Amino acid sequence: MFIEGIVSSYRMNTKDFRSRVYAYYNQQGRDLPWRHQPTLYRVCVSEFMLQQTQVSRVINYFRAFTQKYPSFKALHQASLTEILTAWQGLGYNRRAKYLWETAHHIAAQPSGKQYTAEELVKLPGIGRGTAGAIIAYAYDLPAVFIETNIRTVFIHHFFTNQPNVSDAAILPLIEKTIDRNNPREWYWALMDYGTYLKQQGAHNRSSAHYSKQSKFKGSLRQVRGHILSYLLNMPTPVSMPHLCTALPYPKNNIQKALNHLVQEGLMSKNNKGQYCCV
């Protein structure tokens, strides 16, 4: 146990709160690969990969992906099929497409351009939270943003036993407590401390934005992922009857998943009614 009673929750002032977070981080902070050389590219890759995916699953994917595609230019020069292949197993494949499209935008800009939050949110797959994280981690600037681990920390210490806590109520506290001299490391510390609190039983069920993730097995996400993985390994387009024979899902689920994948630009349908990755 790091410090006896560290998970006891009570209201505290800014100085005490910051000391508590840094005390944990200084002893138990994680050594994560994207924290080494936190360039705009490496931060973007990690932020896209970490959306709805646990850190432990991302680590090896991040290392392999950034070794194969070490820059926005390298990512821009690859085909979407190549990127989707490198992404396989990580899930939520739209993220790979958004990252690839974002690389096209950034590779076309002058090298070293520093982006504002307003510019970042115009890029594919980047919302306000991701934009804030990119600015804090890549530029070491005190952007204010919230995500699940940060939310856990603030609910635990400032909203004990309060229901339906909104992000709007938390954001002013994030702004008030941020370490403006070292925002990048402060957010790393918050993330690590939030992870620790979750391991000790803290959770975000008091958040007004809390929703339990649906089960993967049998879901449309599983069907989509299986179809995409199958087609990435097929040398030629395949028909709907072929997929129904090859994959263990009801015909209606396969058709629904195919429709979504085509609409999202992850695969295409030719004039013979056959499907392939783009």
Domain annotation covers residue 43 = yes
Question: Does residue 4 lie in a domain region?
Answer: no
The answer as to whether 72 is a domain residue is yes
Beta bridge partners of 269: 275
Question: Which of 113, 139, 165 is at the close of a domain?
Answer: 139
What is the percent of the chain where pLDDT is above 90?
A: 80
Q: Which positions are catalytic?
A: 47
Per-residue pLDDT tens digits for 88-97:
999 899 999 9
Task: Report the number of distinct structural domains present in the chain.
Answer: 2
Decide which of 139, 156, 185 is a domain's last residue: 139
For residue 62, being part of any structural domain is answered with yes
Q: Identify each DSSP E strand in the chain by its residue range.
A: 267-269, 275-277
Q: What is the pLDDT of residues 244-277, one digit of tens each?
A: 999 999 999 999 999 999 999 999 999 999 999 9
Q: What is the pTM of this model?
A: 0.89
pLDDT tens, position by position, 189-198 = 999 999 999 9
| Domain range enclosing 123 | 33-139
Who contacts 219 (Cβ-Cβ below 8 Å, separation ≥6)? none
The domain boundary residue, chosen from 139, 154, 170 = 139
> What are the DSSP calls for 62-108, one per residue?
HHHHHHHS-SHHHHHHS-HHHHHHHHTTS--THHHHHHHHHHHHHHT
Q: Is 99 inside any structural domain?
A: yes
Domain harbouring 56, CATH code: 1.10.340.30
Asked whether residue 3 is assigned to any structural domain, the reply reads: no
Any domain includes 12: no
Q: Could you give the dihedral angle defined by the CA atoms of residues 179, 183, 189 and 192, in that order, rounded to the nearest 10 degrees?
A: 140
